[in-house]
Amino acid sequence: MFKGITFEKKDIHVYVLLLSAPVLLTLYRYHGYPQFFYSYFPTYKTMPGGDLIARYWQFGVFFILMFILPLLYMKLGMKKPMRDFGWGLGDIKYGLTWLIGIPLIVVPLIYIASKMPGMRVEYPLAKSLITDPSPFVVYEIIYVLFYYVAWEFFFRGFLLFGLKDRFGAVNAILIETISSTLVHIDKPEGEIIGAIVVGILFGMIALRSKSIWYVFLIHASIGVLLDYFIIFHH
- Distance (Å, rounded) from C-alpha 114 to C-alpha 223? 11
pLDDT of residue 3: 77
8 Å CB contact between 209 and 91: yes
Residue 49 Rama label (left phi>0; alpha psi -120 to 50; beta): left
Rounded Cα gap, residues 88 and 216, in angstroms: 12
pLDDT digits (tens, 9 = 90+) for 79-112: 999 999 999 999 999 999 999 888 888 899 999 9
Residue 233 pLDDT grade (very low, low, confident, very high; cuts 50, 70, 90): confident
pLDDT in tens, 30-45: 999 999 999 999 999 9
Q: Where are the domains of the chain?
A: 9-232
Q: Is the pLDDT of residue 1 over 80?
A: no
Q: Which tops the pLDDT comparison, 6 or 169?
A: 169
Torsion, Cα 227 141 93 210, to 10 degrees, reads -100
Task: Give the residue-averaged pLDDT of 184-196.
Answer: 89
Largest CA distance in the chain: 62
Q: What percent of the chain has pLDDT over 90?
A: 86
Q: For 97-135, b where at least 16 C-beta lie within 10 A, e where not — what string?
A: ebbeebbeebeeebeebbeeeebbebbbbbebbeeeeee
110-155 pLDDT, tens digit each? 999 999 998 999 999 999 999 999 999 999 999 999 999 999 999 9
- Neighbour-count burial of 4, counting CB atoms closer than 10 A to its CB (0-12 exposed, 13-18 middle, 19+ buried): exposed
Q: Dihedral through CA 131, CA 142, CA 220, CA 26, nearest 10?
A: -100
pLDDT at 103: 80
Per-residue confidence (pLDDT) for residue 170, from 0 to 100 = 97
